Amino acid sequence: MLLFESHVCRVLSVAVVPSQRRHGLATTMMRTAERVAQARGCSGMRLEVNTRNLAAIELYRTLGYKVDGHLPAYYTWGDDAYSMSKPLEAVHTPSAVSSGAAASPA
Ligand SMILES: CC(C)(COP(=O)(O)OP(=O)(O)OC[C@H]1O[C@@H](n2cnc3c(N)ncnc32)[C@H](O)[C@@H]1OP(=O)(O)O)[C@@H](O)C(=O)NCCC(=O)NCCS
């Protein structure tokens, strides 16, 4: 689940059914989200993650996200969160700036 806020794309949640974990699905979803955000002109990704959620923290770290804040009692049940972010490179393709453009013939 993504939320586009001005030039930042916030990742609100990502989850993979337990039986399918560790097969790269979350990595694929996150990379796809980053491409979508780039195409919409976002300059960065942001997310919050429970400080106890070592699997998710490792996922984001391997994708290049850095911890840039510690949010005490961020969750309603009292757990802390880290805020993490990753800058995105600007893309300058016509399809990235012109949402109504027709696809080129193959
Ligand atoms: C976190 C979650 C989305 C990861 O999904 P996934 O499809 O298993 O992740 P990937 O297979 O793409 O893993 C990529 C890398 O992340 C890290 N990682 C993922 N799960 C991990 C775990 N349980 N322990 C340690 N590292 C882990 C590893 O570096 C992994 O690479 P590797 O498998 O080559 O070692 C999944 O565990 C999940 O749905 N958890 C419950 C929901 C959740 O916590 N969501 C995130 C907060 S909203």
Number of domains into which the chain is organized = 1
* Residue 39 covered by a domain: yes
Q: What is the average pLDDT across 45-49?
A: 98
CB of 21 sitting under 6 A from ligand 1: yes
What is the Cβ-side half-sphere exposure of residue 27, based on CA atoms within 13 angstroms? Answer: 12
Q: Which 8-state DSSP code applies to residue 24? A: S
* Residue 71 covered by a domain: yes
- pLDDT at residue 103 in the model: 42
Block residue for tokens 């979803």: 29
Q: What is the mean pLDDT of the chain?
A: 91
CA-to-CA dists, residue 56 to 19, 21, 27, 89, angstroms: 16, 11, 10, 23
Q: What is the average pLDDT across 73-91?
A: 96
Cα(101) to centroid(ligand 1), Å:
36
* Residue 15 covered by a domain: yes
Q: Which domain holds residue 16?
A: 2-88
Q: What is the average pLDDT across 39-58?
A: 98
Cα(17) to centroid(ligand 1), Å:
11
* Residue 65 covered by a domain: yes
Q: What is the average pLDDT across 26-54?
A: 98
Read off the CATH number of the domain in which 80 is found: 3.40.630.30
- pLDDT at residue 91 in the model: 85
* Residue 97 covered by a domain: no
* Residue 95 covered by a domain: no
* Residue 14 covered by a domain: yes
* Residue 100 covered by a domain: no
pLDDT of 57 higher than 60: yes
